[in-house]
Structure 1
Amino acid sequence: MTADMVAPAWMHSQITAEQYDSWSAEQCAGIEIVDGMVVVTPSASKRHNRLARILANGLDLAAGQDWNADTDFDVRLQDVPLTNRRPDVVVYRADTIDVAPTRPEHVLLIVEVVSPGSETTDRIVKADQYAKAGIAFYWRVEQAVTGVPVVYTYVLDPASGVYRDGDVCTGVIKTSLPFQLEIDLGAL
């Protein structure tokens, strides 16, 4: 093994919330922190990013003045060991726009767009983490081979702390939870 093949030291040990908070935005881009370990996330496709943007825009319009929907920022699920996820879309309380880090109590809904390589993480791992963090709604968007996305919605059961199945929408999301909305995803 040559010197340029050795992974940086931070890839071999857990980092703390304090260490992570001292990093620049550039250092935090393209990674998530799971149980204190840095997990590099690959760049998403243009289709993935467009889908996330359409969803964020539609959710933002439907959410009203109390909620914002946006993309590309961390949600701090826990401090010890540090777990930061960077969901594709987050609906969060508007009055927390300047609060960092964003925490589960600020969040109403998280949307993950499944990509090749993120199937298990988005379908199982993240859904479990978001439920345990108490986030009320989770949507998983599957990019079907037909090109028309399928959206699986989940609602947190507070008694059990797990998500129960909600609506399944193909092409057009039409739902009343967490608020009334209709988003056409067929026009990607």
Structure 2
Amino acid sequence: MDVEDLFPDWPRPPYEGFTAEDLFRVPGLPAHTQLIDGSFVYRSRQSAFHTTTNCLLQNGLFRAAPDSLKVVREMVVVLGRRQAPEPDIAVIKAEARDLHADRYEGRDVVLTLETVSPDSEERDRCRKPQLYAEAGIPFFWRVEPGPDWRPVVHTYELDPEARAYVPTGVHRGRLKTTVPFDVDIDLTGIDRL
């Protein structure tokens, strides 16, 4: 049996791949479809760890963010013609926030955060940070489950010369940093959610 027999309605990519505009034009795409390297990437169902961790971090960032920044969750960020990933959480410039928006531009993003899932380990650890860095997004955080199933947050800052991230910390139990703004989140709070 061919894949076309199993999924007859799946969009067929053009020879040069899909574009960011296709992501918003092709009818019937599943929710949270991303565009990476000209290919649609579909997200699987998320675990309780993934959802709860993102809720904890989103709430902590929301409380800490200055008025000049806004926290958004699961919004596509257009980084180029063939790149439109959807970070789990992004911090954007307040002037870019539009309640009617279905996407944001990379130039408006200050921080992206990815909580690693089994279906997206390679993308979350390697490809997406590379894309965010190449787009000039100043900060990236990667979240993994610790041995006790509490979040472990790896923080990175952009080296603008290299267009790559350099590690700035590994946070267990408490996420405390001063960049991109003062943040203090009790990561053990996942136990109470």
Same fold at TM > 0.5? yes
Stretch deviating more after TM superposition (97-106 or 164-173): 97-106
* SS of 1:83 mapped into structure 2: coil
Verify the 8 A CA contact 1:30 1:43 in the aligned structure 2. Answer: no
Partner of 2:54: 52
Deviation at 1:159, TM superposition (A): 1.1
Aligned length: 185
- Percent identity over paired residues: 34
Q: How do 1:114-125 residues align onto structure 2 when only pairs under 5 Å count? A: 114-125=116-127
Structure 1 runs (4+) greater than 4 angstroms displaced: none
What stretches of structure 1 of length at least 5 have no aligned partner? none
CA distance in 1, matches of 2:58, 2:165: 21
Three-state SS of the structure 1 residue aligned to 2:119 is coil
What's the Cα RMSD here?
Answer: 1.9
How far apart in 1 are the matches of 2:119 and 2:20? 27
Shift of 1:122: 1.0
SS at match of 1:102: strand
Task: Work out which of the residue numbers 101, 104, 115 in structure 1 matches 2:103.
Answer: 101
Is 1:17 aligned with 2:24? no
- Give the 3 Å change call, closer, same or farther, for CA 19–128 of structure 1 in structure 2: closer
Structure 1 contact 11–38 (Cα < 8 Å) conserved: no
3-state SS of 1:47 partner: helix
Show structure 2 runs of 5+ residues with no match: none
Residue 161 of structure 1: aligned partner: 163
1:2-31 CA-partner distances (Å, limit 9, x unpaired): 76414545244322333333346x735131
Amino acid at match of 1:92: I
Q: Please tell me whether the aligned partners of residues 174 and 182 of structure 1 are also in contact (alpha carbons under 8 angstroms).
A: yes
Q: CA deviation at 1:133?
A: 0.7
With the length of structure 1 as denominator, give the TM-score of the two structures: 0.89
One-letter amino acid of the structure 2 residue matched with residue 109 of structure 1: L
Q: CA deviation at 1:105?
A: 0.9
**1:126 alignment partner in structure 2:** 128
Q: Secondary structure at the match of 2:181?
A: coil
Q: Which residue of structure 1 aligns with residue 87 of structure 2?
A: 87
With the length of structure 2 as denominator, give the TM-score of the two structures.
0.87
Separation (CA, whole Å) in 2 of partners of 1:133 and 1:7? 35
Q: Do the aligned residues in 2 keep the contact of 1:77 with 1:83 (CA within 8 Å)? A: yes
- What SS is found at the alignment partner of 2:175? strand
- Tell me how far apart the structure 2 counterparts of residues 186 and 4 of structure 1 sit (CA, whole Å): 47
